[in-house]
Structure 1
Amino acid sequence: MGEPVDPSGAGGGNPGTGPRAAFFDVDGTLTAEPTIFRFLEYLLAAQGHPPSAYERERRRLQTMTTAGLPRSRALHMYFRNYAGLAADLVAEVGEAWFASELRGADLFNPTGLGAFRRHAAAGDLLVLVSGSFSACLDPLSRHLAADETICTQPEIRAGTYTGRITVSMVGQSKAAAVARLATERGISVAQSWGYGDHISDLPLLETVGHPVIVGDDREMVALAGRRGWTRLPPLPPTLGGLPTSP
């Protein structure tokens, strides 16, 4: 259950089945912490807000999710922080944020990143499927050389964030997006892999032939046991340091 995934044996495309892809959730799967929160902290600081502003907003959102607010609704609440901000400015700050993250060594989850690299070496189509958004994911996707990025779409009018979202890439939306991409690209979902760390990733994992649970979330560990799915446990902390190149 905890052995490293070796995708090389399944090949990057079998006759009659189409090419194979590896679909990765990002927050908690490829990254150690949610990108949307790490970015919001950076953005608020760049705007001159004290650290308490971020801490207050994070507590507010965590309180709502702990009380049972679905992740999809929490995402709507999160993007209210961007109302009135110029999209170009947010994208620019996103580039600076990611550069600052790479100067550290704790952005990526070594377990998920290791699996990503194995699929890259096998020649699979690499797809990020995330509830995060382009300001965070564009530089990350380029850094990892991902082939496709599917993510939440905040509403932008006249170059400005409205604070609303048009597409929430959480839960069942991930499965639907994967199915659409598979149809468009001729991908065999039966031959493809999916990686996730949270129960909201379940629809994504159920879409592919090779679901993999990353981490030690209690609900997901139990699910892996019931269904016989592969699980990749966290690597020891001593193995957590990562180079800045993928």
Structure 2
Amino acid sequence: MRTNRRAAFFDVDETLITAKSMFDFLRFWTLREGGDETDFHAVMGRFRSMWASGVPRTEVNLAYYRHFAGASWTELLKAGREWYEAYRLLPDAFVLPTVRALTDHRTAGDTVVLVSGSFTGCLDPLAKELGADVVLCSQPLTGPDGRLTGEVRRAMIGEAKTDAVRETLARLGADPAACSAYGDHASDLGMLGLVGRPHVVGRHDPVLTDHAVRHGWPVLPADTGTLARASR
């Protein structure tokens, strides 16, 4: 852990990477386990029905992890590494201005924190490549047999995300006014409002864009591209 008492918090999906990692991984997992595109779209159809009927994002997050009930945690982590190795090669995999901002924070000695409703299988390889110090994410629970129960310790969505950032600021002894945060969706407003240096990524969320304009928050472009493999 870095000793600088500044921290920079980064949402992940469509902020650092262009994909919604949970669902991109779901497709990868479905095909890896012998399913096909029809199977994947059937599962996604259930999630879309939940969204369309107004089910809160937290509940959709919980339903996602219930889909993996009975899966081996060890195998899920392995699949996450395989997914990331394939994903990172895509020509538009990363949101480059945000990645550059993260690199600048890391170089300055700030504690870099990823905050996401996704899970460690997808996020740890990304955190390792980008040099993030802390990952705050949904944490699937496992039973004595090492298999997922379908439940999570905390779905890192909405208010839980805000609470986790607040707790991390306190644990680090960081001055919130000197800290930064980056997000792309109105659901990130709670996190962004906790720090003195909030940043919006892209302009595809009108609620967040309007908030940024009214409060004078910087808006980063959402230019995409690839990353050269860092030598560590």
Assess same fold via TM > 0.5.
yes
Aligned in 2, Cα 1:222/1:73: closer, same or farther, shift over 3 Å?
same
Query: Can you give the 5+ residue segments of structure 2 that lack an aligned partner in the other structure?
Result: none
The structural deviation recorded for 1:173 is 1.2
Q: Quick one: which of 135, 150, 168 aligns to 1:163? A: 150
User: How far apart in 1 are the matches of 2:215 and 2:45?
Assistant: 34
Answer yes or no: is the 8 Å Cα contact 2:10–2:16 preserved in 1: yes
1:127 lines up with 2:113 in the alignment: yes
TM-score for both structures, normalised by structure 1? 0.87
CA RMSD of aligned residues (A): 1.7
1:195 is paired with a residue whose SS is: strand
What letter corresponds to residue 202 of structure 2 in structure 1?
G
2:67 is paired with a residue whose SS is: helix
What is aligned with 1:9? Answer: none
1:207 is paired with a residue whose SS is: coil
Answer yes or no: is the 8 Å Cα contact 2:89–2:226 preserved in 1: no
User: How far apart in 2 are the matches of 1:23 and 1:243?
Assistant: 20
Aligned in 2, Cα 1:162/1:148: closer, same or farther, shift over 3 Å?
same
User: How far apart in 1 are the matches of 2:129 and 2:45?
Assistant: 31
2:153 is paired with a residue whose SS is: strand
- Please list the CA deviations of residues 156-214 of structure 1 after superposition, one character each: whole Å capped at 9, or x if unmatched: 11211111212111111112111211222211111000111111111101111111111
1:78 lines up with 2:58 in the alignment: no
TM-score for both structures, normalised by structure 2? 0.92
The structural deviation recorded for 1:127 is 0.5
What letter corresponds to residue 200 of structure 1 in structure 2?
S
Q: Equivalences for 1:173-192 in 2 at 5 Å?
A: 173-192=160-179
Q: Equivalences for 1:72-111 in 2 at 5 Å?
A: 72-111=58-97
What is aligned with 2:14? Answer: 28
What letter corresponds to residue 245 of structure 1 in structure 2?
R
1:62 lines up with 2:48 in the alignment: yes
Q: Quick one: which of 34, 37, 52 aligns to 2:23? A: 37
- Please list the CA deviations of residues 19-43 of structure 1 after superposition, one character each: whole Å capped at 9, or x if unmatched: 1111001111111011111111111
1:149 is paired with a residue whose SS is: strand
Answer yes or no: is the 8 Å Cα contact 1:192–1:208 preserved in 2: yes
What is aligned with 2:182? Answer: 195
Q: Quick one: which of 116, 132, 135 aligns to 1:146? A: 132
1:82 is paired with a residue whose SS is: coil
1:220 lines up with 2:208 in the alignment: yes
Answer yes or no: is the 8 Å Cα contact 1:103–1:244 preserved in 2: no
1:245 lines up with 2:229 in the alignment: yes
What is aligned with 1:8? Answer: none
What letter corresponds to residue 106 of structure 1 in structure 2?
D
Answer yes or no: is the 8 Å Cα contact 1:105–1:244 preserved in 2: no
Aligned in 2, Cα 1:226/1:63: closer, same or farther, shift over 3 Å?
farther
Answer yes or no: is the 8 Å Cα contact 1:98–1:139 preserved in 2: yes
Dislocated runs of 4+, deviation >4 Å:
none
Aligned in 2, Cα 1:52/1:169: closer, same or farther, shift over 3 Å?
same
User: How far apart in 1 are the matches of 2:227 and 2:167?
Assistant: 34
What is aligned with 1:234? Answer: 222
Length, aligned pairs only: 227
The structural deviation recorded for 1:149 is 0.6
Q: Comparing 203-212 with 178-187, which one deviates more in the overlay?
A: 178-187
